[in-house]
Chain A
């Protein structure tokens, strides 16, 4: 079945440093979604990318969708303590646009 891999699994940074997490799918995706889960909380939708090579920005967050639509990345510039949490990517499973396959996530911790 479809697999969505994320690396790294953990990342610890000093406040102000940049952070990047990478997401790779075993199959071509029609779209990719990113979610953030704060410690003790629930996942919250951040963004959806649909087009090949698409780049979207939300303040200090930059999201990219690969040309082949099989990989994606999330880059945070100048991390803040409020960025702490687990970042998940998710893509629709082949044959069902209702069913999402989630990566295992990247846990970001930020040292103030």
Chain B
């Protein structure tokens, strides 16, 4: 089955620690995205990548970093500079522009 796999499902971060969320897709999609969702809120874009080795900041990129070394992988690092990281993180992909986005199951990040 083709899809998007996010791991881990739950993640706990200690103060001052960087953590990396994994996102892998086997849909052969060109573009990939990271969103943050807070309770009762919509989806806010952190970073997106249209092609390999290229990515753009979204609306709330501060305190986050990404890489896109392979088409199928788009990991997100939540750095210690992100002071309020507790949220639900969703990875998505799309085949090309103006196409529907396919989402992974998400990672719930909490502070210890």
Contacts and interface: CB of A to CB of B under 8 A. Distances in A.
Contacts, number: 51
A83 to B, nearest CB: 19
B58 A45 contact: no
B100 A42 contact: no
Given A42-B106, A48-B100, A102 B43 contact: yes
A102 B46 CA distance: 13
B105 A42 contact: yes
Nearest to B102: A45
Most buried by A among B40, B56, B58: B40
A35 B97 CA distance: 17
A98 to B, nearest CB: 5
Contacts of A31: 98
A85 interface: no
Nearest to A43: B103
Interface size class of B (residues with CB under 8 A): 20 to 34
A97 B56 CA distance: 13
Given A42-B106, A99-B58, A105 B42 contact: yes
Contact of A99 (B42, B45, B103, B104): B45
Contacts of A102: 35, 42-44
Interface of A: 1, 9, 30-31, 33, 35, 41-45, 48, 88, 90, 92, 97-100, 102-105, 107
Given A45-B100, A99-B48, 15 more contacts: A9-B40, A33-B101, A42-B104, A42-B105, A43-B43, A43-B90, A43-B103, A88-B42, A92-B97, A92-B98, A97-B97, A99-B45, A100-B45, A100-B101, A107-B40
